[in-house]
Structure 1
């Protein structure tokens, strides 16, 4: 029985992607969803150029700082800086949220663009790091959707997945989470060999 290649392999040229076309398409789709989730809905024309340059957000027209996102998954990606001090947390969010959103979106786009190149895909060091960070972000979102709050919840996921007693949508999301976890581990190994 032939063993499948590792999904990511360190080579002299960079990190080789050994995912098939369908797997890459799924990953590109997930990266696109991450990009959309991080979109704050403001047209680029409305973003203050200074704000874009320094990565901080100007107060809104009513002077209110940006609020903690209502979507718990987005709140995991853009966490509060200080849960015990709402004023400090709001200031932290004002100073960091725009830049954090922009970096995460750019990383997802960089990784997606690299994965859509014709095979064989070989990632440069910056592309591999972008994909590695995007894996973390996608897994955070999926983990929130699966209600994984503790290490014990994450460990129990595998058992729940194989028991098959969950709704189909949960099983599909959990399966993707598991696959992404394995792929991320392989990518970490490949990236570490590049240094």
Structure 2
């Protein structure tokens, strides 16, 4: 069973069992696949190098749209925002997810500040995807998901995803608390 993260002299430490590590690495890979854009042969190499994209429409997948918001309610402004930032946002998120997946190779996680921040961001991206897939949009929706509390109750996709969502949320909360304790102690 996973242990809560704690702040120590050498960084932030926590532990995960084999099945928990496997689950997290799979979730990270799934979000990476969601974020990686389809390669385009007609893409301008200079624009690619500068991080300028040609796609300005919001993603059709609601989970991807949640990961890559438009930045503004104004459609024209959102299109410009996407054009100039979406590629770098995707690349940053994918990099953090890959770093987190590599950190989860070991049962004992010993994280410096950079790796702790990457893991926290990766867990947040997983939570955003799971929350979107579960339809969490209000307190009532969150309360519905919180009703699932026992892995023995997992009978369908929603109940399993709800339990995974709760586990990832607990793990992220534990990590953020350890990060805050580290800041408070001046150990960073």
Same fold (TM over 0.5): yes
Alignment partner, residue 141 of structure 2: 153
The change in CA–CA distance for 1:13 and 1:47 in structure 2 (over 3 A counts) is: farther
Alignment of 1:26-65 (within 5 A): 26-42=23-39, 48-49=45-46, 51-53=48-50, 55-57=51-53, 59=54, 65=55
Superposition RMSD in Å: 2.5
Alignment partner, residue 62 of structure 1: none
Answer with 13-22 or 176-185: which moved more: 13-22
Alignment partner, residue 177 of structure 1: 165
Structure 2: stretches of 5+ with no match in the other structure = 184-188
Alignment of 1:13-92 (within 5 A): 13-42=10-39, 48-49=45-46, 51-53=48-50, 55-57=51-53, 59=54, 65-83=55-73, 85-92=74-81
Structure 1: stretches of 5+ with no match in the other structure = 60-64
8 A contact 2:63–2:128 mirrored in 1: yes
| Per-residue deviation, residues 46-90 of structure 1 (Å, max 9, x unmatched) | 57355444x332x3xxxxx4211000000000012233x322211
Extract structure 1 runs of 4+ deviating beyond 3 A. Answer: 43-47, 49-53, 162-167
| Per-residue deviation, residues 86-107 of structure 1 (Å, max 9, x unmatched) | 2221111101111111110001
Return the alpha-carbon distance in structure 2 between the equivalents of residues 158 and 6 of structure 1.
Answer: 20
The change in CA–CA distance for 1:19 and 1:90 in structure 2 (over 3 A counts) is: same
8 A contact 1:7–1:19 mirrored in 2: no
